[in-house]
Amino acid sequence: MARSGAGTTMAGVVVVMWWCMVVQRLEATVFTVGETSGWVVGVDYDAWAKSKNFKLGDLLVFDYSSAYAIDEVFENDYNTCNIDHPISSDNSGSTVISLLNAGPNYFICGTPGYCAQGMKFIANVTA
């Protein structure tokens, strides 16, 4: 009988955790990076990111042409526009990234030369 109670308790915990994830996803804000311009040269992404209130679970949507890519990188690589060691990288033309880490999250264009032209920003995420 004790085993049944423990199993029921565990099932309850799993259901509560699942529900919390669903509610968090429902409350997530979807941010289109660069708004109507998308992920291109010539947008002030620093100003754009600073004007946003990013929270855990929010989504970043990158829309871009095949000339560009999006890399999530570490701080040093962000500062130096180093594309050699990304945390993640995509060049599909439409990328959605979930913000899963509180604090600064660093994004740059993964195509050589574009980061130095301003295609980079920091998403400061609050818990």
Strand partners, 103: 125
User: Residue 83's closest CA among 94, 73, 93?
Assistant: 73
pLDDT score for 13: 46
Per-residue pLDDT of 37-47, as tens digits, reads 999 999 999 99
- Residue with the bigger pLDDT between 19 and 85: it is 85
Report which of 86, 91, 95, 88 is spatially closest to residue 30, judged by C-alpha positions. Answer: 95
- Measure CA 2 to chain center: 44
pLDDT per residue as tens digits for the range 79-120: 999 999 999 999 999 999 999 999 999 999 999 999 999 999
pTM metric for this prediction: 0.79
Q: Does domain 29-126 have CATH number 3.40.309.10?
A: no
Domain positions in the chain are 29-126
Q: Cα–Cα distance between 43 and 62 in angstroms, integer? A: 13
